[in-house]
A and B are shown apart, each in its own frame.
Chain A
Amino acid sequence: MSVENAPVVDVDEAAIPVEKKMYYRFESNDKKEFRVSELAIQQSETLNRLVEAMGYTSEDVENKPAIAIENIDGKTLKLVFQWCEHHKGEAIPVDDGSVPKIVEIPEFDAKLMDIDNGLLFKLIWAADYLNIVQLLNVSCKKVANMAQGKTPAQLRRVYLLPSDEEDEAAKRAAQEAQDPRAREVEEEFEERKRQGGNSFF
């Protein structure tokens, strides 16, 4: 490049080295890879500690294998990292474990969490696992808002919860399915008790 054609750069500005942003690579349990900025990672206490402990250089993050997050699937992790990128640099609230404070759900978060309940619960689980305090706050708040004006039956449907009876019945059904002899043994035991025996043995 000739001197004439070279871009005009202020000497002082040119002297300042441009800080290269570092993007870490993470892999979900279903082998989906994500590139996440250093600043966004700070939203997650777990990941932040992890990358600090690893002490990767810019070359390392490119050359070494992606950091595996074995407990979270790609669909959920995508939402987590979208959230972290959007909120990077924001102050992280202190989680003192007390009764929740007043939490407003920003528009971006509301759109991000416009997902089916199953995925929303996974997002909460991931936010807890990765220790992303504010994501956990807004996602819990979103789930709590679903309870507004609902009857107990509606709440069971919304939160995908069985009633006590259903829960018991399901446990029984699972137990019976696991051990087909269980009922027979139980009946035999009851019969022996009726006959006056104190112990099955």
Chain B
Amino acid sequence: MSSVSRYIDIDLRVRILQESFKMKPAYESYKNLCKDIGDTRLTFENFEFWFYGFSNKQFYLDYEPSSEPDSHTLNDLPYDIVLKVVGYIDKSDRSNVRKVSTYFKSIIDELCPCYEEIKVTLRHGFISAKYDELCNEYRKTDTGCTTVMNGKDIIVEGDYLTVFMDHFAATIQNKDLELKKLLIDAQPRSEEKPLDPIDFERFTRLMRTLKKPNNHQPLNIQVLHLIGMKLDVSCHIMSLAKPGLLNTIAIWSSYKTDNYEFIYKKMMGMEQWRQAMALSFLGHEDSPAGDLAHAQQFQLGRSKMTPAEIIQLRERLLEHKTFHYCEIKFPPSYDYTEIKTALRGRHNNNDKWYFKIPNSHQCLEFSFINDPSSLRIRRINFILP
């Protein structure tokens, strides 16, 4: 804290008071005043002192500034105190505090990280973690790991996956984390270089070590999208999320493990799965549609479907009070003949079948799509002739 004289002549006080009425930012007002009085008569620091004093109606023109230590803004307080103050601020107000300045943004992010989306992408030789607009990339090098944090290269000793995991786990395991969507993609596109199998195994092992904040507090995630992961890892990550709040789950992967059936059964029984409103399960082409049909909308991949299965699904959806939409993806050029024969419903020339929902003015519409092959079912308002 420094001692600074805040005394200024009365004519300057009047001018600053007038500037404060204009509701302009402090520096703009200061520059405006300097145009008239010159740059040398008044420092910005002194201007700011009087400007904010008048703006906040803390003192008037006759205020006698003392030569007390100059600690009159929140910024002047020690960092841990500012952190404490921010900690008391209601969560609903924190987003506005975050916009005050870079300093407060960093404090809020440390105290209560709040992201719309965290996206982790594993590719050959690198892994990236994108926290909304901030992207960190961890590259495998001969000597260790090069971390690119928000565009700046930082050489970090150690394995690139471990360095990534230290950062990622610290974020995920923060009990104040507010996160809408978590996306983990470990499946390179066809044009990309395949993953190193050893690195993928290590990544899998690291993901299994992720824990809930405080070891018991569930993660507040609404959307979980896992691509190219082993089912047990997907299952583990899903188990960290809060059931009910997690409303969308998408698991796209074709990896099969030795105890696949056991893990699959376990996953279908999890509260997170049972309470989700939207489900997508692609890659494992033999899972029964009934395991997803409790959701309002769902998507699954099947190599084939028997007539009995399709009839069973139709009956279930006709009784489903909140069902909205589903899509069953089939291999290319799939032959629907058997299914269509089994449906025996009313249909039109556009390959659409309709089934009236009992006690309602709605019906289920079955559409058979070719190239790519899929069956789409939706609930629509429609009066059958």
* Chain A residues at the B interface, C-beta cutoff of 8 Å: 29-30, 71, 73, 75-76, 97, 99-100, 103, 116-119, 121-122, 124-125, 128, 136, 140-141, 143-145, 147-153, 155-167, 169-170, 173-174, 177
Q: Which residue, B68, B76, B176, has most C-beta atoms of chain A within 10 A?
A: B68
Decide: B176 and A99 in contact? CB cutoff 8 A. Answer: yes
A and B contact pairs by CB, cutoff 8 A, 17 listed: A29-B69, A73-B69, A100-B84, A118-B53, A124-B77, A144-B88, A147-B89, A148-B90, A152-B97, A160-B74, A162-B75, A162-B101, A163-B100, A165-B25, A170-B27, A173-B43, A174-B44
Chain B residues 146 to 182 lying within 8 A of chain A, measured CB to CB, are 176
Give per-residue flags for B89-112: 1 if the beta carbon is below 8 A from chain A beta carbons, else 0.
110010011011110100000010
Residues of B within 8 A of A122 (CB): 68-69, 71-72
Residues of A within 8 Å of B101, CB to CB, are: 156, 161-164, 167
* Distance A149 CA – B93 CA, assembled complex (angstroms): 6
Interface pair A117/B76, CB less than 8 Å apart:
no
- If A128-B78, A169-B27 touch, whether A160 touches B73 (CB-CB below 8 Å) is yes
In the bound complex, do residue B85 and residue A118 qualify as a contact, i.e. CB atoms below 8 Å apart? no
* B359 within 8 A of partner (CB): no
In the complex the two chains form, is A159's CB within 8 Å of B84's CB?
A: no
User: Which residue of B has the minimal Cβ distance to A143?
Assistant: B85
**Chain B hits for A118, CB < 8 A:** 53, 58, 72-73
| Also in contact, A121 and B73, with CB within 8 A (given A150-B93, A152-B100) | yes
Does B48 sit within 8 A of A, measured CB to CB? Answer: yes
Whether A121 lies near B86 (C-beta < 8 A) is: no
- Out of B59, B84, B97, name the residue touching A136 (CB < 8 Å): B84
Q: For the complex, what is the distance from the CA of A76 to the CA of B66, rounded to whole Å?
A: 12
Residue numbers in A under 8 Å from B84 (CB-CB): 100, 136, 140
Interface residue ranges, B against A (CB under 8 Å): 1, 25-27, 43-45, 48, 52-53, 55-56, 58-59, 66, 68-69, 71-78, 80-81, 84-90, 93, 96-97, 99-102, 104, 111, 176
A140 with B27: CB separation less than 8 A: no
User: By CB atoms of chain A within 10 A, which of B87, B101, B176 has the most?
Assistant: B101
11 extra A-B contacts, CB within 8 A, seeds A136-B84, A173-B43: A30-B66, A71-B1, A118-B53, A118-B58, A122-B69, A143-B85, A144-B88, A160-B48, A166-B26, A169-B27, A170-B45
Cross-chain contact A100 with B100 (CB below 8 angstroms): no
Q: What's the nearest-Cβ distance from chain A to residue B279, in Å?
A: 35
Bound-state CA distance A162–B44 (Å) is: 11
Contact B74 A75 (CB under 8 A): no
Residues of A close to B69: CB separation below 8 A: 29, 71, 73, 122
B74 A159 Cβ-Cβ under 8 A: yes
Whether the pair A144, B89 counts as a contact (CB closer than 8 A) is yes
Whether A161 lies near B75 (C-beta < 8 A) is: yes
CA distance A57 to B53 in the complex (A): 45
With contacts A71-B69, A157-B55, A161-B74 known, is A103 near B88, CB below 8 A?
yes
B43 touches A147 (CB 8 A): no
Across the interface, A117 reaches (CB within 8 A) one of B58, B93, B96, namely: B58
Contact A140 B26 (CB under 8 A): no
Distance in angstroms from A165 CB to nearest chain B CB is 7
Residues of B within 8 A of A116 (CB): 53, 56, 58-59
When the two chains form their complex, are residues A166 and B27 in contact, meaning their CB atoms are under 8 A apart? Answer: yes
The 10 tightest CB contacts between A and B, nearest first, are A118-B72, A144-B88, A116-B58, A160-B73, A152-B99, A166-B27, A159-B74, A73-B68, A100-B87, A144-B89
Kindly list chain A residues whose C-beta atoms are within 8 Å of the C-beta of B104.
Answer: 161
In the complex, A118→B49 CA distance in Å?
A: 10
Contact of B27 among A148, A150, A162, A174 (CB under 8 A): A162
B1 pairs with A157, CB closer than 8 A? no
The chain B residue with its CB closest to the CB of A100 is B87
Closest to A122 in B: B71
Does B76 contact A147, Cβ atoms closer than 8 Å? Answer: no
A155 touching B96 by the CB < 8 A rule?
A: yes
Across-interface contacts of A128 in B (CB, < 8 A)? 77-78, 81
A145 to B97: give the CA distance in the assembly, Å.
12
Q: Report chain A residues within 8 Å CB of B96.
A: 147, 150-152, 155
A170: chain B residues at CB < 8 Å are 27, 44-45, 48
B100 touches A140 (CB 8 A): no
- Interchain CB contact under 8 A, B52 and A160: yes
Given the interface pairs A144-B86, A144-B89, A155-B100, the reply to whether A125 lies near B44 with Cβ below 8 Å is no
Q: Tell me the bound Cα distance from A103 to B89 in angstroms.
A: 12
B68→A162 contact, CB < 8 A: no
Contacting residues, chain B, for A166 (C-beta < 8 A): 25-27
In Å, the complex CA distance between A170 and B56 comes to 21
Residues on the A chain within 8 Å of B73, using CB: 118, 121, 159-161
Kindly list chain B residues whose C-beta atoms are within 8 Å of the C-beta of A160: 48, 52, 56, 72-75
Q: Which residues from chain A contact B99 at a C-beta distance below 8 Å? A: 152
B contact residues around A153 at 8 Å (CB): 25
Q: Are B58 and A140 in contact (CB under 8 A)?
A: no
Q: How many whole Å from B313's CB to the nearest CB in chain A?
A: 48
